[in-house]
Amino acid sequence: MDELELLKKDWKKETNKFPKLSYDDIYKMILKKSSSIVKWIFILSLLEFIFWSVLSFALKDNESIKKFNNYDADYAIIPLTIISYLVLGYFFFVFYKNYKSISVTDSTKSLMEKILKTRRTVKHYVAFNLIFSIVAVVIALFIEFEQDQDLINLVNTAAANGKSLQFYTTFTITVITVLVITILVLLLFYWLIYGLLLRRLNKNYTELKKLDL
């Protein structure tokens, strides 16, 4: 006999082997809170949106940023600020729309796709922020070189000593190293959190996709 047919025969008798939950047992369960991965993704995504928005506010109080505000840099700061808010608004809207479309009554494959899509929106937002931060740092440095008297003095001293190249090289390497380390730390953090949270989902989604190849 086919193995599964044998199993099916027994499976039907399984019914009596489970503890029977009462009306009250089930009623108590519906009052409890879910701990599904969708809920976790929602919480983590909200935290990410908050983190990146608060970060720019927090930096406004920073001494060096205050100094920066005294420069003639509105031509760069205003467009950058507008862009960052527009992008935040756009991503949050797409994220919320995707999140709302997640339905447990969809087919397994479609449910997985929607969860991954929601997660991808936040991932794109983070990627945008990283690129945006790099661009902002580069623009800020150009403005500093143009308008920060201390820095201009340093450049002039280096030029007078014939060490211009050395100065710029050290400066560039330092900036790149700091950026790379920051990005690596962030990526590690993401890899740990989402890697663990979505490992099983990704594995199962790959398995399902393989079936339809």
Binding residues vs other proteins (CB under 8 A): 2-4, 6-8, 10-11, 14-15, 17-23, 26-27, 29-30, 32-38, 40, 103-112, 115, 197, 200-201, 203-204, 207-208, 211-212
Cβ nearer to other proteins, comparing 10 with 61: 10
> What three-state secondary structure class fits 12?
coil
CA–CA separation, 153 vs 189, rounded Å? 39
Q: Kindly state the smallest distance separating residue 23's Cβ from other proteins, in Å.
A: 5
Cβ nearer to other proteins, comparing 20 with 61: 20
Q: Tell me the three-class secondary structure of 18-69, residue by residue.
A: CCCCCHHHHHHHHCCCCCCHHHHHHHHHHHHHHHHHHHHHHHHCCHHHHHHH
C-alpha distance from residue 180 to each of 124, 134, 176, 195 (Å): 19, 10, 6, 21
Task: Kindly report the number of other CB atoms within 10 A of residue 65's CB atom.
Answer: 14
Asked whether the CA dihedral 70, 72, 78, 80 is positive or negative, the reply is: negative
Q: Kindly state the smallest distance separating residue 94's Cβ from other proteins, in Å.
A: 21
Q: Kindly state the smallest distance separating residue 30's Cβ from other proteins, in Å.
A: 4
Asked whether the CA dihedral 76, 78, 82, 88 is positive or negative, the reply is: positive
Cβ nearer to other proteins, comparing 73 with 112: 112
Q: Kindly state the smallest distance separating residue 119's Cβ from other proteins, in Å.
A: 12
Q: Kindly state the smallest distance separating residue 102's Cβ from other proteins, in Å.
A: 9
Cβ nearer to other proteins, comparing 7 with 82: 7
Encoded amino acid at 43, one letter: I
DSSP state letters, 91-119: HHHHHHHHHHH--TTS-HHHHHHHHHHHH
Q: Kindly state the smallest distance separating residue 44's Cβ from other proteins, in Å.
A: 12
CA–CA separation, 20 vs 81, rounded Å? 60
Cβ nearer to other proteins, comparing 2 with 150: 2
Cβ nearer to other proteins, comparing 160 with 211: 211
